[in-house]
Every structure is written in C-alpha cells, then in structure tokens.
Amino acid sequence: MAPQFNRRQVLKHAVTLSVLSALPLALQAEILSRPAPRSSFDEDSTAEEVTEGIDLSGKTIAITGANSGLGYETMRVLALRGAHVIGIARNQDKADKACASIDGETTAMFLDLAEWDSVVACAERIKALGQPLDGLITNAGIMSLPELQLVNGYERQFAINHLGHFILINQLRDAVLAAPEGRFTILSSLAHKQAENGIEFDNLDGSNHYDGWQAYGVSKLANALCARELAQQISDTHATANSLHPGVINTNLGRHMSPWKQTVANYLGWIFMKTIPEGAATTCYVATSPELRGVRGYYFADCNVGEGARYLTDDAMAKKLWRVSTEATGDYLPDGHPQPS
C-alpha cells in the first residue's frame, strides 16, 4: 500500500500554505451575520471525524448525487449520525439501491438535472412529506465534457450543475427556511478559477467558444455565486447558504477526462488526491457543524474558509446570475420566486 503519512504534503507546502497565510476573512464580503470560525480540521480529516459527537436525530437532509462517490459517503455519514437522509439519484433504481445499502433512515428519490420537469417533481415529492428540511446539499454534477452539448439552449454543464440545482433550491427554499436552522450547502470547486473571465453571460450556450474545462469552471463559479446571493436573500432568517470545494478526488465525476488523466488518477492519485471519506468531510462539516450556526455566504475548503478567485466575491455578478437564471428557468420556479436583494 502506498504510504499515507505525507500524502499531498509537497503540494500543500509549496502551493497552498502561502495563500492560506494571506487569507483574511475580509476576503469574504460583509454579508455575514458573523465571521466563520477557524476549525481544527484540515485536508486529511474525514467525514466521520468532522461529525463525531454531532447528533442529527430528528433532522431531515436531502442530497443530490447520493448513489456514488462523495454523495454516497455524505449520505452514509449523515445517516450514521441520526439524520433522515433523502438520497436523490438520477433514477429511482440507483436511489433505491444506494439507500438500501446503508444503515439509518433514508428515503430514496430521483431527479434528472437535465430534465427540469423531473426536478420540480422531485421537489414536490419532498414537500409532500410535510416536514421542514434541515438541509439541502447540491452535490450532483458533471465535469469537463469534451464536446459542446446543450440542455434547453444552455451549455450542458451550466444547465446541469447550476440551473438544475437552481430550480431545486428555489423549489425547496420554503421547506429549508421552515427548519429551525436550515442549511443550503452548495458544492462548488476550486475549478471555478478556470472561469478566467467570470460568468460570460453572452456565451452561456457555448456558441462563441467552447472549452470543456472552462465551461466546467463557469458552472462551478455559478454554484458559488448562487450560494452567495442566496445568503444575501436569507440574511434576515435563521437559515444559511454556503458553497465549498470538496477537494480533488478520484470519483466517477472524472469519467469524461482523457484516458491518460484517468490512468494518472488511478495509479498516482494517492499522492495528491483525497480519499472519498476525506472528500466528503467539508460537505459534512458545512452542513452540520454547530460552530457554523448563522454563518453564511462563505466558500469553504478543507473545512475552513477557502481561497478563491476574485469573481467569487463579485456581488454584482452574483445578482446578475440570479436574474439570468430566473429568466432561464422561470417556468420551473415557484410563484413569487425571490429576486436579487
């Protein structure tokens, strides 16, 4: 077995340490009700470790992409801590099998983020349970499609990773706000830095130019900006919204990468990649930690405030994204859908 004690240390000290030491909380805007505390966890912490001692009994948390990888591990650990987890997959069979394979209380549901009617239908089934939603974790996604594909006229990664989840977030918004301390936990990625020009609103269909990695970066920046604007909108409630980078992990998210990259990940990934239990840690921390009560609008990585590109705190871009997303998905949003703050 490859040694684990110094895994990723070279990259950590050569690249990460310099930026972390210069990362003031002021990097995040003043929209927060209180600063995010520094946790004792880091890139080597696991989902079980960051939730140790936390009792989630009586709480209901929904998560997309629950049938494999990070989503499955997140569901397993949340259920282990006592939560009722609504495990959402792309079809009912996958959801049923995933939920049946773990201990704890789960409810299997499905949606296809590329089929927006199915997103609404899933939200309706969740609302029909008649109970507040203590957490919504938008975990599912696709990455680095080699060729341009469209969904409802939008580049597929943007449509699935952002717009599909945008619909779900707004359909379930009232259910999360009805909980005592509801949390929106939105998975972004360090790949948001690939969006070097921010959200290119004139190229959301990829017609001007298309690059798979850049398009993925745009979708991940959109996830983070969605969380940021949502945090603004719910700042007068007990609910929170935050985004996060789970880390670089070898999961089926990378199935569209070139064969040589997949080979490197499979055989050398232990050097610089997180394990799945480690990759699910930040999600579980943001979704459950009592230390984050009332903390909203942040981008997390390694269970602490993360370093992001300058567009990550661009509130004007976040508001415009919300308006554009509303226009793109209006037929699938609930009546009275909130506008940018």
**HEC readout, the chain:** CCCCCCCCHHHHHHHHHHHHCCCCHHHCCCCCCCCCCCCCCCCCCCHHHHHCCCCCCCCEEEEECCCCHHHHHHHHHHHHCCCEEEEEECCHHHHHHHHHCCCCCEEEEECCCCCHHHHHHHHHHHHCCCCCCCEEEECCCCCCCCCCCEECCEEHHHHHHHHHHHHHHHHCHHHHHCCCCCEEEEECCHHHHHCCCCCCHHHCCCCCCCCHHHHHHHHHHHHHHHHHHHHHHCCCCCCEEEEEECCCECCHHHHHCCHHHHHHHHHHHHHHCECHHHHCHHHHHHHHCHHHCCCCCCEEECCEECCCCHHHHCHHHHHHHHHHHHHHHHHHCCCCCCCCC
Beta bridge partners of 185: 137, 242
Q: Give me the pLDDT at residue 267, please.
A: 39
33 found inside a domain: no
341 found inside a domain: no
Quote the percentage of the chain above a pLDDT of 90: 80
27 found inside a domain: no
Q: Give me the pLDDT at residue 228, please.
A: 97
* Higher local confidence (pLDDT), 339 or 135: 135
Active site residue 332: no
Total of domains in the chain: 1
Q: Give me the pLDDT at residue 186, please.
A: 98
300 found inside a domain: yes
Catalytic residue among 72, 154, 210, 332: 210
335 found inside a domain: no
Expressed as residue numbers, the domain containing 217 is 9-15+39-330
340 found inside a domain: no
338 found inside a domain: no
Amino acid at position 258, single letter? S
Name the pLDDT band for 292 (thresholds 50, 70, 90). very high
Name the pLDDT band for 339 (thresholds 50, 70, 90). confident
* Higher local confidence (pLDDT), 266 or 40: 40
- Residue 142 pLDDT more than 80? yes
Distance CA 4, CA 21 (A): 25
303 found inside a domain: yes
Q: Which pLDDT tens digit goes with each residue over 295-337?
A: 999 999 999 999 999 999 999 999 999 999 999 999 999 998 8
For residue 272, the domain's CATH number is: 3.40.50.720
Quote the percentage of the chain above a pLDDT of 70: 83
